Amino acid sequence: MSLSVGTEPEIAPSQPRRRIPFWAWPLGLAAILVVLSVIRLVTGIGDISSSGTLGATLALAMPLALAGLGGLWSERAGVINIGLEGMMILGTWGAAFGAIHGGPWAGVLGAMVCGAIGGLVHALATVTFGVDHIVSGVALNIVALGAASYLAARFFGELEGGSDVQSPPLPSLPKVGIPGLSEPLKSVEDEGWFFVSELAALLRAATTNLSLLTVIALLIVVGTWWLLWRTSFGLRVRSCGESPVAAETLGINVYLYKYVAVTASGALAGLGGGFLAMVASNAYRESQTDGRGYIGLAAMIFGNWRPGGVLMGSGLFGFMDALQLRGGGAAIHALLLLIGVLLLALGVWQIVRRQRFVQGTLAIVIGIAVALLWFVSETVPGDVTRFAPHLTTLLVLAFASQRLRMPESNGKVYRRGEGH
């Protein structure tokens, strides 16, 4: 017997799940632009919602989104993937090696192949040999760091413009845009109109000088949703993460689907590393990922193991990264007001609607403290500014953890024949 899209077995506890309707996404985006408009008017910091900041957000969010999607593929099949960071590291080297020897698209392919090799190693350890998923992922991160360092010294050290810790400059990927829109949208953005200028800035960032790999990454997000939630293949993958025993009784080769999902996970994480080397930068550099594999994993958890949520979480972390790079302490300081208000609202909601008094009170106390910090200070120290994206990761995970539900059998060692 085999699975079909319309006949999903009972593989997890039956819980009502509220799906976000399609119309809620543009409405949510409009709400975000309204909030950014209010912050800009109250604080006077124009760069907080400029097209430059939003364009940088898009570029910085894509590696995180690709890593998060990689984690989603693996964990939906029941394999925890802490090794995303290592797979991204392998992808940065693979992108540089491929681009130097075969051009930019060979670099994209090289990033995916090297990341997929890391995913295959993780699958071999966890699926075939039953190694603890966390141990395997951490070991992969350590080995990948050393392997990339050795390979960089071996292949880039004697090249012109290269060294033991970086590659020569890499060829650029094509960029796309809609001609004739940039200048009119810039004029509207410069007017400083409430909401309208923010909308113009967003449209300008999304239609001007956009790397083709960014467009491909966005299509991969949509493709992941369609493949995992709208096809029988995706149903089988998800069944392996919810109840591999039930999936096996229905004739599914659980090992095969886990291998496919974890290898795809590595390819996506590797592509995220390639994005860092070829789009966010123009060369491979040692320690280039800077923990983004872990932030991508956090984005996946924040997104509740769903592609749309991964994109939202990556956008949030990318926005914080863009602010600290472009606006520095002044822009991060302006965000303190927003963070304080959101924490206060979250605390009231936790107490009134969820009856969670401890969590609600904690959120309110932290919100008041953050708001007071905004009132009594004029900027944020540089050390805090650089730590802002990682601090955002911790706060989001702390307050979002109440609504999360991971796949039922995620992280559990499965052995063929357990259901017999």
Question: What pLDDT does 349 receive?
Answer: 78
- CA distances to 27, 72, 115, 227, 247 from 271, rounded to whole Å, are 31, 15, 7, 18, 30
The residue among 405, 2, 410 whose CA lies nearest residue 242 is 410
Using pLDDT thresholds of 50, 70 and 90, give the confidence band for residue 102. Answer: very high
Q: What pLDDT, in 10s, does the model give residues 288-301?
A: 998 999 999 989 98
238 vs 44, higher pLDDT: 238
The residue among 239, 284, 280, 279 whose CA lies nearest residue 96 is 284
- Name, of 108-112, 250-254, 387-391, the range with top average pLDDT: 108-112
Question: What pLDDT does 4 receive?
Answer: 45
pLDDT at 109 over 80: yes
pLDDT at 116 over 70: yes
Secondary structure of 179-244 in the HEC alphabet?
A: CCCHHHHHHHHHHCCCCHHHHHHHHHHHHCCEEHHHHHHHHHHHHHHHHHHHCHHHHHHHHHHHCH
Tokens (6 digits) for 116? 């997929």
Q: What pLDDT, in 10s, does the model give residues 152-204?
A: 999 998 888 889 999 999 999 999 998 888 999 999 999 989 999 999 999 99
What mean pLDDT is predicted for residues 216-221? 96
Helices (H) and strands (E) in the chain, counts: 16, 2
What mean pLDDT is predicted for residues 362-379? 83
Question: What pLDDT does 7 receive?
Answer: 45
| Distance in angstroms (rounded) separating the CA atoms of residues 391 and 386 | 10
320 vs 382, higher pLDDT: 320
Question: What pLDDT does 16 receive?
Answer: 45
- Name, of 106-115, 300-309, 391-400, the range with top average pLDDT: 106-115
pLDDT at 146 over 50: yes
The mean pLDDT of the chain is 87
Question: What pLDDT does 399 receive?
Answer: 63
Between 112-116, 259-263, 411-415, the lowest mean confidence (pLDDT) is in 411-415
105 vs 19, higher pLDDT: 105
The residue among 100, 81, 108, 362 whose CA lies nearest residue 241 is 81
Question: What pLDDT does 173 receive?
Answer: 94
Question: What pLDDT does 396 receive?
Answer: 67
pLDDT at 257 over 90: yes
pLDDT at 384 over 80: no
93 and 287 Cβ atoms separated by less than 8 Å = no
The residue among 278, 275, 388 whose CA lies nearest residue 338 is 388
What mean pLDDT is predicted for residues 131-148? 96
23 vs 280, higher pLDDT: 280
| Distance in angstroms (rounded) separating the CA atoms of residues 131 and 408 | 19
Opening angle at CA 150, ends 147 and 155, nearest 5: 120
pLDDT at 228 over 50: yes
pLDDT at 2 over 90: no
| Distance in angstroms (rounded) separating the CA atoms of residues 295 and 35 | 24
Q: What is the DSSP letter of 243?
A: -
What mean pLDDT is predicted for residues 100-111? 96
- CA distances to 162, 185, 302 from 270, rounded to whole Å, are 21, 35, 21
DSSP string over 84-142: HHHHHHHHHHHHHHHHHHH-HHHHHHHHHHHHHHHHHHHHIIIIIS---HHHHHHHHHH
Percentage of residues of the chain with pLDDT beyond 90: 55
347 vs 169, higher pLDDT: 169
